[in-house]
Chain A
Amino acid sequence: MSMGDTSLVEWIATSLLVLGALFYLAGTVGLLRFPDVHCRLHALTKADNLGLLLVCAGLGLLACDWQVAALLGTIWLLGLLAATVSAHLIARHACRDHSATSSRTGSA
């Protein structure tokens, strides 16, 4: 594992992968530390999707193959779609949840 034979592309890929992992860490910290469900969703979906993009970009550079790169790109786009729709649905459910609790405590 000498550093001499590591090419420029591999250095770029390594930095992208490490940066991506750090964004995943940021998402987890947000999930654990933010005060309510809407903030947590916000932290999670934004940071994780950026993390996934960086990881996909790094792996695409390492694989050095157009087919693999296209598949990684598709996976990232589908990840965006899934995160968008899921966050929307979960936030809607949470809104219903909150209005229900406040009206129940109000009438009781």
Chain B
Amino acid sequence: MNLAVDSLIGLGLVALAWQAISGRSLFRGIVMFVVFGLTMALAWARMGAPDLALAEAAIGAGVTGALMLVALRRLVQLHPDQPAEPKRARSRLALPIALLAASLVAVIGLGAVSVDREPGRAGVAVMDNLAETGLSNPITGVLLVFRNLDTLLEVAVLLAAFLAALAVFRDQEQAPAPPRGDLPLVGALLAIIVPLTILVSVHLLLAGSHEPGGAFQAGAVLAAGGVLLILAGRLQPASGMPLATALPLVLGLLVFSVIGLAMMLTGAPLLALPGLWAVYLIEAAMMISIALTLVLLFAGASGLRRERP
């Protein structure tokens, strides 16, 4: 039965990936991609990686699917004369690239099968020293304590990506706003779901110390609430970046670096954290930065303004 479940999920993933990129229309490809995200979350769940399943659910259902639909809308509205459908002619490079990718997958797969099942030394060391950190979720332990330089740089990369995108936002054409009309159900939806995203993201943040969750998942859920507000027209893209936007954007990087550097004054090594409170503080700051970065990337703007219905 286990084999049946896993092979159905595996075959489904390959079929969906193929359908998502080879479809006759962009819209159909997007729907296939959304379904691919759902199936991918099932695959992570079967592989016993609930942290990744949570991230896949929050990012896939909350941000990327809507982002692609909005991008397709913009494409169609700005260039109504050009068909938004992909060209049918296949590049001459397609076959060699496909063969290379397939052999890469085969090599990695063979490597994964032939490796012995004994856990590496790093994993054992993490589990041995986890109790000292006060955390009981080893993943948060690795992200925030044992390998926190990597996490710091990941937050920096996210900020750098946003700054690069900012350069593109400057000279884009504005697409006309989507039709609103009277949608009685949408107000009720926002009134329930948006507060719930805040509640769930705080829960995921706090739960991250002892069960699956953490700043990245919490930030993505919070961002999904913002995406919902943008889609409903309650938040509108705005130009200019006030301090009230810029400060939360860099808050994660700032809090992380300040605490990590301040500890050097006491003679501790770089980024040694003073205690569990520092982990929570850094995670909360990272959650806010990650959520705001994702929402601004979705809006395609450097700022946001509220719009009363």
Residues of A within 8 A of B (CB): 78, 81, 84-85, 88-89, 92
Contacts and interface: CB of A to CB of B under 8 A. Distances in A.
Interface stretch (B12-20, B127-135, B185-193, B275-283): B185-193
Contact of A88 (B185, B192, B193, B196): B185
The 7 closest A-B pairs by CB, nearest first: A85-B189, A85-B185, A88-B185, A81-B192, A81-B189, A84-B185, A85-B186
Interface in B175-214: 183, 185-186, 188-189, 192-193, 196
A92 to B, nearest CB: 8
Contacts of A88: 185
Nearest to A88: B185
Contacts of A84: 185
Nearest to A93: B179
A46 B145 CA distance: 48
Contacts of B186: 85, 89
Nearest to B189: A85
14 contacts: A78-B196, A81-B189, A81-B192, A81-B193, A84-B185, A85-B185, A85-B186, A85-B188, A85-B189, A88-B185, A89-B183, A89-B185, A89-B186, A92-B183
Interface of B: 183, 185-186, 188-189, 192-193, 196
A45 to B, nearest CB: 13
Interface of A is mostly: helix
A73 to B, nearest CB: 14
A84 B186 CA distance: 10
A97 B21 CA distance: 25
A81 B191 CA distance: 12
A81 B190 CA distance: 11
Contacts of A78: 196
Contacts of B183: 89, 92
Greatest chain B CB density within 10 A among A78, A85, A88 is at A85
A98 to B, nearest CB: 16
Contacts of B196: 78
Nearest to A96: B179
Given A81-B193, A89-B186, 12 more contacts: A78-B196, A81-B189, A81-B192, A84-B185, A85-B185, A85-B186, A85-B188, A85-B189, A88-B185, A89-B183, A89-B185, A92-B183
A24 to B, nearest CB: 15
Nearest to B184: A88
A92 B179 CA distance: 12
Contacts of B188: 85
A85 B231 CA distance: 14
A84 B193 CA distance: 14
Nearest to A84: B185
A92 B183 CA distance: 10
B185 to A, nearest CB: 5
Most A Cβ at <10 Å: residue of B183, B189, B193: B189
A20 B231 CA distance: 33
A29 B188 CA distance: 31
A84 B218 CA distance: 26
Contacts of A81: 189, 192-193
B73 to A, nearest CB: 12
A95 B183 CA distance: 14
A24 B44 CA distance: 23
A100 to B, nearest CB: 12
